[in-house]
């Protein structure tokens, strides 16, 4: 989903359904703000590449995550395990946390599904620019100086963009290599913006 206020900023989350209830949208909206809400109409979505056995399993696990509504900090690097078997967030050192995209990576990885070949992910200069910008936003919007300054030490870490993680979710060939994810991500961007896709700067 593009951000109308900042077109080059995109957002991603997890859509799930339990039984006959309506679709829910679980997403890390910001620093210590995890939302689980009815799916907004304006969001684009795609089906996951999971098989029919694992889809209800993952939906049940995602439903557990709402217990972390105010527990997950925002962080720009991704390493380690972030959730336990009951969907409880595992606290990391100050400065660490998740983005909307790595939240999804962490949820799937906890359950044995690796979406991307993270070991080989590149660190791109334009992503460092985005990381600096997002940390400035964190500071301006009330995150503690201790958290922000600790997170600044991670600028330059590999970044997993929302459209790249979405590619891993919808593909039945996961975990995707960087070139594979980049190729599908470009198709997603074209679907969002049209043929004249906005170049990803975040």
Q: DSSP string spanning 122-180?
A: PP-HHHHHHHHHHHHHHHHTT--HHHHHHHHTTTTS----HHHHHHHHH-SSPSBPHHH
Q: CA nearest 165: which of 71, 49, 68?
A: 49
Q: What domain count does the chain have?
A: 1
Tens-place pLDDT, residues 142-156: 999 999 999 999 999
Least confident residue range of 19-23, 57-61, 123-127: 19-23
98 DSSP assignment:
B
The answer to whether residue 74 sits within a structural domain is yes
What is the number of residues in the chain?
Answer: 202
Burial string for 62-94 (b: 16+ CB within 10 Å, else e) reads bbbbeebeeebbbbbbbeeebbeeebebeebee
Can you tell me whether residue 68 is helix, strand or coil? helix
Domain assignment present for 78 = yes
pLDDT digits (tens, 9 = 90+) for 154-181: 999 999 999 999 999 999 999 999 999 9
- Percent of the chain past pLDDT 70, that is, above it, reads 92
Is 119 within a domain? yes
Q: How many CB atoms lie within 10 A of CB 181?
A: 25
pTM as predicted: 0.93
Residue 116 DSSP label:
B
Could you tell me if residue 14 is inside a domain?
Answer: yes
Q: What are phi and psi of 118, to 5 degrees?
A: -60, -25
Task: Give domain status of residue 129, yes or no.
Answer: yes
Please check whether residue 148 lies inside any domain of the structure: yes
- pLDDT-based confidence at residue 7 (cuts at 50, 70, 90): low
Domain that holds residue 87: 2-193
């Amino acid at each position: 989903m593009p951000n109308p206020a900042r077109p080059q900023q995109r957002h991603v989350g997890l859509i799930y359904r339990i039984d006959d209830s309506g679709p829910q949208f679980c997403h890390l909206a910001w620093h210590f703000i995890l939302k689980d809400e009815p799916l907004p109409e304006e969001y684009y979505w795609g089906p996951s590449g999971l098989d029919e056995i694992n889809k209800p399993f993952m939906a049940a696990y995602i439903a557990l995550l709402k217990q972390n509504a105010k527990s997950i900090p925002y962080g720009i690097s991704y390493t380690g395990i972030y959730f336990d078997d009951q969907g409880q967030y595992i606290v990391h050192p100050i400065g660490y946390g998740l983005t909307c995209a790595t939240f999804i990576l962490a949820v799937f990885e906890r359950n044995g599904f690796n979406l991307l070949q993270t070991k080989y992910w590149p660190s791109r200069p334009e992503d460092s620019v985005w990381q600096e910008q997002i940390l400035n936003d964190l500071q301006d919007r009330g995150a503690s100086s201790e958290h922000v300054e600790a997170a600044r030490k991670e600028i330059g870490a590999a970044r997993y963009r929302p459209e790249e993680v979405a590619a891993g979710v919808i593909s039945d060939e996961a975990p995707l290599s960087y070139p594979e994810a980049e190729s599908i991500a470009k198709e997603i961007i074209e679907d969002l913006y049209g043929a004249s896709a906005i170049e990803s700067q975040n």
